[in-house]
Amino acid sequence: MKMIVAIIQPSKLDDVRDELYKAEVNLMTVTEVLGHGRQKGVTEIYRGAREMGNLLRKVRLEIAVNDSFVEPTVRAIIKAAKTGETGDGKIFILPLDQTIRIRTEERGSIAIG
Amino acid sequence: MNSGDTAWVLICTALVMLMTPGLAFFYGGMVRRKNVLSVLMQCFFVLCLVSVLWVVYGYSLAFAPGNGFIGGLQWSMLNGVGLEPYADYSATIPHQVFMIFQAMFAVITPALILGAFAERMKFSSFVVFIILWLTLVYAPVCHWVWGMGGFLRNMGALDFAGGTVVHINAGIAALVTALMIGPRKNAEKHIPSPHNLPFVALGTALLWFGWFGFNAGSSLAANGLAANAFVVTNTAAAAAGLSWAAIEWFRNGKPTLFGICSGAVAGLVAITPAAGFVNVSGALIIGLLVSAFCYLAAAVIKPKLGYDDALDAFGVHCIGGIWGALATGLFASKLVNSAGNDGLFYGNPELFIIQAKAVGVTIIYSLVVTAVLFKVIDLLMGMRVTTKEEDIGLDLTQHHERAYTMLE
């Protein structure tokens, strides 16, 4: 089991979800986050005071998957989120010790999907 | 000169002024949060810009004596527009009061259009578009209907508070601009949800409140006719809000806040041309039916045809305005306003034909000129923001501001 964490552009969320459904990955948690990597932030000006390099809005996906789904999930995210420009985002793959479905108390890979 | 009339029209002017910020919230709540400031900014910019243009040359172009098509420039800088009444327009209030009341109509009309191209127009191009549209579309159409010697006025067309001049005119411009600028990115796949429906309700409240000035003020006197306009305005708005909610209840199982707000605004639009000519039963029918037409345009026809009139400026204002103008030809009665005329249901089919002609002329003129203006500005400076700017949002890319912070 792996936990896939992807940081993507907010505008790509719909496309990424479409691709993930095609790859039969239906379960995910989505949060809105702020951050930036190499991409510079945006300029904001309030009553003449200039604020450079503010943090940008991004979307963070967390998807717990069984091992066989790792590559299809990664492929789906890349397919939808990649534009080739700075700021497309990152994917992190983390080991996942245990998954427990609260309703049934099932544990392990069966509890993921 | 009458002090009661003067006081009333001054207050109504302030009420109509408040409609444009009201519209800003009505529209602002409907867009995604990355674009809310752009909509508010466009509304406030129009308020400032048109207020200035109006006293410099706009009022003169629309209302100064000229030919049947356009007014003259002799009243530029309010030259000759003084504190005494000008009897051809209003015998009991200062001419400047009439002028500033009309200014607020000139402000809100171009602002209505922006609902069609919301979330994707370049701000600099927007400014140029508004200046040209006010000068080449609003001022002439206003002159035809309300100006001395205007040809629709001479033909006998009735437009009490601006159904043709304001709503059909802006509504058609909305359709043209929505078609020409193209749909928002991904709009066909996922309809962007409104980011703040309480803003929509707040905007509706301000519009409704201001509309009493818009319609009841258009009698230009504190008299029985103003009372009639006030009552039918409230009645039509309420009936339309109910019928929109009923349609949704019937079709989707639940009535929505967004629906009742849209219905109320559609009702206000539809009663606008009729407010000084119909009685309360006419207002009820106008209100109950307008929601059916606007609902059809916004929720059924628009998705089928695929144009992205983002906030339904065409679906509500043009369709509602056309229905209101035609309904005036059906339900108008001299018993309400002896200066008006009888409609079809009061034995005078001719008025209906005149109303239909006035609607037709306005649609054709607004359509053609708006399309030409749009094309010219698009060629010279580009109307649409880049895809990347659209992704980030107009607030940050066009104004370097954002409405909401996530962290302190």
Number of H helices, E strands in chain B: 18, 0
Hey, what CATH topology would domain B3-399 get? Ammonium transporter fold (1.10.3430)
Query: Is the separation of the CB atoms in B25 and B48 below 8 Å?
Result: no
Query: Is the separation of the CB atoms in B105 and B162 below 8 Å?
Result: yes
- What is the H or E stretch that residue B212 is in? helix B197-216
ipTM: 0.77
- Take residue B325 and report the two structure tokens written for it: 């103008």
Q: Does A55 touch chain B (CB under 8 A)?
A: yes
**Which residues of chain A does B395 touch, with a Cβ-Cβ cutoff of 8 Å?**
none
Query: Is the separation of the CB atoms in B373 and B97 below 8 Å?
Result: no
Domain boundaries in chain B?
Answer: 3-399
Q: Residue B80: which of B62, B60, B109, B52 has the closest Cα?
A: B60
Query: Best residue in A11, A40, A58, A86 to probe B by mutation, most B CBs within 10 Å?
Result: A11
Q: Residue B390: which of B182, B98, B128 has the closest Cα?
A: B182
Q: What is the CATH number of the domain that holds A61?
A: 3.30.70.120
Domain count, chain A: 1
Q: Are strands A42-46 and A29-35 parallel, antiparallel or unpaired?
A: unpaired
Structural domain harbouring A80: 2-111
Nearest to A43 among B400, B406, B407 (CB): B400
Q: Residue B242: which of B192, B194, B290 has the closest Cα?
A: B290
B77 or A43, which is more confident:
B77
Q: Does B189 touch chain A (CB under 8 A)?
A: yes
Look-up of token digits 């509500």:
B316
In B71-110, which positions are buried (b, 16+ CB within 10 angstroms) versus exposed (e)? Answer: beeebbebeebeeebbeebbebbbbbbbbbbbbbbbbbbb
Tens digits of pLDDT across chain B (408 residues)? 999 999 999 999 999 999 999 999 999 999 999 999 999 999 999 999 999 999 999 999 999 999 999 999 999 999 999 999 999 999 999 999 999 999 999 999 999 999 999 999 999 999 999 999 999 999 999 999 999 989 999 998 899 999 899 999 999 999 999 999 999 987 777 778 899 999 999 999 999 999 999 999 999 999 999 999 999 999 999 999 999 999 999 999 999 999 999 999 999 999 999 999 999 999 999 999 999 999 999 988 988 888 899 999 999 999 999 999 999 999 999 999 988 889 999 989 999 999 999 999 999 999 999 999 999 999 999 999 998 899 889 999 999 998 988 776
